[in-house]
Chains A and B, each alone.
Chain A
Amino acid sequence: MWVLLRLIIGSIFLVSGLEKLLSPYQNFLYAIQAYQVLPSPIEVLVAQIFPWIELIMGAFIFIGLWTPWVLRGALICFGIFVVMLGQALIRSLPLDNCGCFGDLIHLKPQMEIVLDSASLLLTFLLLRNIPRVQKFSLDSYFG
């Protein structure tokens, strides 16, 4: 079960990163701008770099390489997502779609904050059970 949960978390980041990378970065930039948090140059940087972070982190979680480290990275990411969505909802910003999965899935921010909070909790639990999570992983192969 712990391995399955690791694969799910890894898949979330893999799919999310892949979708954003295969689409023009301007689409993700537009989604970031809607949150009205970052200055413009940082928004552009995040739009171009963050999908790569998602992709690589997702791949590493999926195959179980450097698992404790990438799970900590995932925890930070989910924490950031919850904060960003939370502030957007509090400020009643006009977000039609959270932009989380690019064009693949359109999720309302209210739904997405629930899912991200659940994922945050799940990732925390995975971090507390590393030996079980690392079954059938490259980490266990390298010892």
Chain B
Amino acid sequence: MNKQRLTFLIVLVLVGLIGGAKFFLGARHQELDPKQVRSKGNSQARVKVVEFIDFQCPACANGVKILGTYLDKYPHDIYLQVKYFPLTNVHRHAMVSALYSECAARQGKFWALNDMMMPQQSQWAQLISAEPVFKSMALQAGMDIRKLEGCLASDDARRVINDEKSLGQSLGISSTPTYFINNKMVVGTKSLEEELKTYFP
């Protein structure tokens, strides 16, 4: 065998191995959960978005604004579901903000809390403890504080958050925000805007 043939063979083997591994891993997509309460918009919409979010992630806050604009402009054409992906090794308040959000969802107040949490992110992200701020937001959102405290003390909310993060990791997610727009994976707000423009030119 000469050098050129060996070169070709090695490239073929590498491409074949990796290509095969990628094929075996399969295309990643995330189906909507019809029972999920962290949803907004028209469930029959032609554009379905599943967002994996970390509430302390600045890009996620920007993504919330972008999606909010599209939801306002095209309320019948977009359906959004939110799943948790706290980056606990990077963001101090990632888990606690997710816990408050999940506990709010159990009282039907997920969006009410989210509408306060995300615009004020830059303020509470700097704090040593953000819980007093979240508790104040919960009160403003009309949450039952006793139920909230019970929820925070239980393991169930944390389990839901960790399960969704594991799901995200199995889909190949490593950063936030990550979206699945009609099952197509999109990472970051620049790609989000570009993908949404293909549906709403």
Tell me whether B196 is interfacial, beta carbon within 8 Å: no
Residues of A within 8 A of B194 (CB): 40
How many residues from A make CB contacts under 8 Å with B?
25
Q: How many B residues have CB within 8 A of the partner chain? A: 27
A-B contact count (CB 8 A): 61
Q: Within the complex, which residue of A21, A24, A96 is in contact with B28, where a contact is CB–CB below 8 Å?
A: A24
Contact with B along A18-61 (1 / 0, CB 8 A): 10011110110110010000001000000000001001100110
A41: min CB distance to chain B, Å? 10
Given contacts A22-B25, A65-B3, A65-B6, contact A29 B14 (CB under 8 A): no
Within B1-42, which residues are at the interface with A (CB < 8 Å)? Answer: 2-3, 6-7, 10-11, 14-15, 18, 21-22, 25, 28
Partner of A29, one of B11, B18, B174, B187: B187
Contacts of B90 in A (CB 8 A): 96
Q: How far is the CA of A65 from the CA of B2 in the complex (A)?
A: 12
> Hey, which chain B residues are within 8 Å of A27, CB to CB?
172-175, 187
- Which residues B170-201 have CB closer than 8 A to chain A? 172-175, 178, 185-188, 190-191, 194
Q: Which residues of B lie under 8 Å from residue A52 when comparing CB positions?
A: 15, 18
Q: Which residues of A contact B (CB under 8 A)?
A: 18, 21-24, 26-27, 29-30, 33, 40, 52, 55-56, 59-60, 63, 65-66, 94, 96, 102-103, 138, 142
Pull 22 A–B residue pairs with CB atoms less than 8 Å apart, ordered by A.
A22-B18, A22-B22, A23-B172, A23-B174, A24-B187, A26-B178, A27-B173, A27-B175, A29-B188, A30-B191, A33-B188, A33-B191, A40-B190, A52-B15, A55-B14, A59-B10, A65-B6, A65-B10, A96-B90, A138-B6, A142-B2, A142-B3
